[in-house]
Amino acid sequence: MLSIRELDCEVAGRALFDSLELELASGTSLAITGPSGSGKSTLLSCVMGLVRPAGGTVHVAGTDITRLRGAALARHRSARIGMVFQFGELLPELSPLDNVALAALLAGTDRHTAYARARELLSELGVPTAASSEDLSGGERQRTAVARALVNAPALLLADEPTGALDAATREKVSDILFAMPARYRCGLLVVTHDPAVAERADRVLALADGVLVPAGRDAAAGR
Ligand SMILES: Nc1ncnc2c1ncn2[C@@H]1O[C@H](COP(=O)(O)OP(=O)(O)O)[C@@H](O)[C@H]1O
Ligand SMILES: [Mg+2]
């Protein structure tokens, strides 16, 4: 689902990755940890095609996105990738339903289908009907962000510190939802997190250190 080979990337004149390699199969989850500034968010940006690497390939659902440009890249991203940000990044003046449906409309889905899918996902993820996203709790906003990331049935679900702004109980609920998604939708899930309790729920845990990914958490303890 996601295959990264020999990835090199420079940000502000500094080499962040050193021939970085990564494989993620559909229906499985992977957590990436690592110190602040190690390049975790930049890695996700490379996977989304928002940052162009200096070298290497990034295959998402069979297509090397480093070879795509402009509209073709945007189409591939919107059809294949769903992204959840740390602070949800919803449009606050829109309802949760409009936030989720908008992502489907922008991907070219017709209005009726977009709203039907959005309604179904929000109800499945337990988000109440609200006039504006500002009226939701932090956890509800984050669940709306997950619904928005899923509305185009992505092959790959990415999340950058998805629980970083939540309290402990809400963190648990949002993690429950996120980690249920690979089995439910057969997508690959890649989560960047500082939180060991969240990381440990993934099928595999890797740490980004000195530009490469190394086994971490229980994977390191098991010598894998
Ligand atoms: N747009 C940018 N311009 C300049 N430096 C950047 C930019 N984005 C990230 N960086 C730098 O690249 C490094 C990695 O950043 P980032 O990927 O955000 O790390 P992490 O998510 O692991 O905290 C940091 O040193 C950061 O300051
Ligand atoms: Mg980051």
* Atom 1 (ligand 1) nearest CA: 11
Displacement of CA 83 from its chain's centroid (Å): 4
Closest atom of ligand 1 to 39 CA is 17
* Atom 7 (ligand 1) nearest CA: 11
The correct answer on CATH 3.40.50.10490 for the domain covering 2-88+152-221 is no
Tens digits of residue pLDDT in 20-62: 999 999 999 999 999 999 999 999 999 999 999 999 999 999 9
Tens digits of residue pLDDT in 115-154: 999 999 999 899 999 889 999 999 999 999 999 999 999 9
Whole-number pLDDT of residue 170: 86
Both tokens assigned to 90: 């919803």
Closest atom of ligand 1 to 35 CA is 22
Average model confidence (pLDDT) for the chain?
A: 93
- Segments in the chain forming alpha helices (H): 40-48, 70-80, 96-106, 111-124, 138-150, 168-185, 196-199, 217-221
Give me the residue spans of the domains in the chain: 2-88+152-221
- Is 3 near ligand 1, meaning CB less than 6 Å away? no
- The Cβ of residue 79 has, within 10 Å, a number of other Cβ atoms equal to 14
Tens digits of residue pLDDT in 82-122: 999 987 789 999 999 999 999 999 999 999 999 999 999 99
DSSP assigned state of 127: P
Does the pLDDT at position 223 exceed 70?
no
* Atom 27 (ligand 1) nearest CA: 37
Q: pLDDT band for position 222 (50/70/90)?
A: low
